[in-house]
Structure 1
């Protein structure tokens, strides 16, 4: 690939996303660096440039994933301004609040930010990805997906909300999406999930007391997002190494069921027109 590869990286304003942006630019990529608000975008882009990142390789992008309308606007902007999108890194995530919160779209906040928004963004950018020879999606998952289950009868936790269970469910759903993209969606040529490790980010208090340096978590994400890197399509990585995802994450029946349900929840089936 002669031209600079273009990577859309969500959640680039902080933590693993911020360090991943630095690594990707160093690898020769042009990074569309997503942040939640214009203020966070300006601040993080300034910090990236001050850290040595070439400003010409950065493109700011803004969307609050608690509002699916903003996700749609982000996808439209990227599709209109990029001749092609080589890699999409779905990194943006939250641990979720202590008490159940509902978005304006009517979904529990954790499942929307960590799964429904990345799903919708990916689907809306399929054509932009299809214009690339790489066409790769990297989903930043978590080893906690192994303890998750899809709460089919109450995906939005209207009953018995539990912060940890909601997070695990969202990461399981994202890992199941990786399976679906690899097996059911020809426009996305490659899809992988990665557990970056227990890393000392602002999310750490949600599930652990100690974590490794942020740069160590960013390294495997950046490696998988490098268009020159060979990846195991549909694979789940624990850091740099391929690992076994949970049985639920690769179960064909459950994966198809979740895919269909998510189309309805995001109204994607109606948005195609």
Structure 2
């Protein structure tokens, strides 16, 4: 689609090996974008690219694959440095990778509750490190794939790992609230979006039935389009702009979350 506004755009999609991430990559590539597909391992990322070429007819030249396990922040750093080196001009970052919090309280090797790290802290670190490459030209942006469950959450400032009182649903919701708050960070132009309950690995958190992943992906891709004007920090429920949870747009909460995240990802002295 050479006349698409997304033609000649470069977009990094995290968690692009399945579900909404894979469908987002497909739709972007079909609209002419160069898509950087992130997977947990190089093998998973390569398999996703091969699948798009074989089943969707995507030009292999439009796809680049990258790997990083988001339970390891050193791998996130390596991913960012590689992307900046190979693609110094990045138009859109889609922070999509996510996991459901496990039944049992789990802490990563970096010392963080696993859902908080994979769903939020890894994306926080990646976004900060990619800032030099993220274009300031019109249309450049970050799209955080969040969740309506952020409305049920609170951030446990004194115990973000929830080591004293753990609930998998509360841990997941906290990670989604943090990701939604992060969209209001003034350093980059960003929005967050709840793509709806879709048939993905996260569906059990929401409902028994969900829409096809491609429907959720369409809401994400719409926000990647430079023709769609956005306001920094805006939150969308599918294709409708709505108010997020009150905490998500409070300047004090944004600053407090940044300070917490900087400590947890090891970016403070």
Query: TM exceeds 0.5?
Result: yes
Given the alignment of the two structures, is residue 218 of structure 1 paired with residue 217 of structure 2, yes or no? yes
Match of 1:237, SS state, is: strand
Q: Residue 229 of structure 2 corresponds to which residue in structure 1?
A: 230
> Are the aligned partners of 1:90 and 1:140 in contact in 2 as well (CA < 8 Å)?
yes
Instruction: Count matched residues.
Output: 264
Question: 1:227 deviation in Å?
Answer: 2.7
> Are the aligned partners of 2:138 and 2:226 in contact in 1 as well (CA < 8 Å)?
no
Q: Residue 207 of structure 1 corresponds to which residue in structure 2?
A: 206
Q: In the TM superposition, what are the counterparts of 1:83-162 in structure 2 within 5 Å?
A: 83-130=88-135, 132-162=137-167
Q: In the TM superposition, what are the counterparts of 1:1-273 in structure 2 within 5 Å?
A: 4-51=8-55, 52-130=57-135, 132-180=137-185, 184-185=186-187, 188=188, 190-270=189-269
Question: 1:3 deviation in Å?
Answer: 6.7
Question: 1:253 deviation in Å?
Answer: 1.1
Match of 1:128, SS state, is: coil
Q: Deviations over 1:51-90 (max 9, x none)?
A: 2111110000100000000000000000000130000000
Q: Deviations over 1:189-222 (max 9, x none)?
A: x210000001111111233211111111000101
> Are the aligned partners of 2:233 and 2:249 in contact in 1 as well (CA < 8 Å)?
no
> Are the aligned partners of 2:9 and 2:34 in contact in 1 as well (CA < 8 Å)?
yes
Write out the 4+ residue segments of structure 1 that deviate beyond 3 Å after TM superposition: 130-134
> Are the aligned partners of 2:12 and 2:94 in contact in 1 as well (CA < 8 Å)?
yes
CA distance in 1, matches of 2:99, 2:117: 10
CA distance in 1, matches of 2:223, 2:159: 33
> Are the aligned partners of 2:25 and 2:37 in contact in 1 as well (CA < 8 Å)?
yes
Match of 1:129, SS state, is: coil
5+ residue gaps, structure 1, are none
